A and B are shown apart, each in its own frame.
Chain A
Amino acid sequence: DAGITQSPRHKVTETGTPVTLRCHQTENHRYMYWYRQDPGHGLRLIHYSYGVKDTDKGEVSDGYSVSRSKTEDFLLTLESATSSQTSVYFCAISESGTVETQYFGPGTRLLVL
């Protein structure tokens, strides 16, 4: 299995509070991604990174920001959490940005009350 960890694995927070989720990889892959998964929807891309300090928006980026200061770490921040951001968040990595296999972390379950 690819070396990807996510922290925390579970979090309960209140509306309006900031939340940061961390993704850490030991594979030295260039590309990292944040997705959210909700019932009835496929995985939806929030943001992705193609290198240190290089990030871009996905299809559902509103309300989220990201940072990548090291190859191995990709942070997702909810500036002011809302109940609509209750979801399961997955981090993924890939060696290049072309359509090759993406490897996923175990996910973070976030509940915003």
Chain B
Amino acid sequence: RKEVEQDPGPFNVPEGATVAFNCTYSNSASQSFFWYRQDCRKEPKLLMSVYSSGNEDGRFTAQLNRASQYISLLIRDSKLSDSATYLCVVSRASNYQLIWGAGTKLIIKP
């Protein structure tokens, strides 16, 4: 079992819709969680950190469920420019190294 698992998608979503992704992690001792965004053939860039109480940044909301060991990302009013691969990232408790999910591909259609 991979340490961090994501549905690879693709998620095909019409513009303006709301879309949600989940990511599960296996190590209950993990302390830090992130969502990164990666455009096609580009480098990953931090989208947002995920805090225990949940956090929001504009149209994006991230939630953490420690009991079930998953994090989620909700995108409201999706834009064409949201088309990308979204990477779930979890820190390994023992050495702070980041463990990366393989990503969920999102395609927003006009």
Instruction: Give A residues with C-beta under 8 Å from B.
Output: 35, 40-45, 58-59, 90, 97-99, 101-102, 104-107
Task: Check A42 against B91 for contact (C-beta < 8 Å).
Answer: no
Q: Which residues of chain A are within 8 angstroms of B98 by Cβ–Cβ distance?
A: 43, 45, 99, 102
Task: Check B44 against A90 for contact (C-beta < 8 Å).
Answer: yes
| 30 residue pairs from A and B, CB less than 8 Å apart | A40-B102, A41-B102, A42-B2, A42-B87, A42-B103, A43-B44, A43-B98, A43-B100, A44-B100, A45-B97, A45-B98, A58-B97, A59-B97, A90-B43, A90-B44, A97-B96, A98-B96, A99-B31, A99-B32, A99-B96, A101-B34, A101-B46, A102-B46, A102-B98, A104-B43, A104-B45, A105-B43, A107-B41, A107-B42, A107-B43
Q: Nearest Cβ in chain A — how far from B102, in angstroms?
A: 5
Given the complex of chains A and B, what is the CA–CA distance between A35 and B101 in angstroms? 13
Q: Nearest Cβ in chain A — how far from B31, in angstroms?
A: 7
Q: Which residues of chain A are within 8 angstroms of B34 by Cβ–Cβ distance?
A: 101
Q: How many A-B residue pairs have CB under 8 A?
A: 43
Q: Which residues of chain B are within 8 angstroms of A98 by Cβ–Cβ distance?
A: 96
Q: Which residues of chain B are within 8 angstroms of A104 by Cβ–Cβ distance?
A: 43-45
Task: Check B99 against A42 for contact (C-beta < 8 Å).
Answer: yes
Q: Which residues of chain A are within 8 angstroms of B43 by Cβ–Cβ distance?
A: 90, 104-107
Q: Nearest Cβ in chain A — how far from B92, in angstroms?
A: 9
Interface residues of B in 81-108 (CB under 8 A from A): 87, 91, 96-103
Given the complex of chains A and B, what is the CA–CA distance between A56 and B57 in angstroms? 35
Given the complex of chains A and B, what is the CA–CA distance between A28 and B67 in angstroms? 39
Q: Which residues of chain B are within 8 angstroms of A99 by Cβ–Cβ distance?
A: 31-32, 91, 96, 98
Interface residues of B in 35-50 (CB under 8 A from A): 41-46
Please judge, given known A-B contacts A99-B31, A99-B98, whether A42 and B46 are in contact too, CB under 8 Å: no
B71 within 8 A of A: no
Q: Nearest Cβ in chain B — how far from A88, in angstroms?
A: 9
Q: Nearest Cβ in chain A — how far from B46, in angstroms?
A: 5
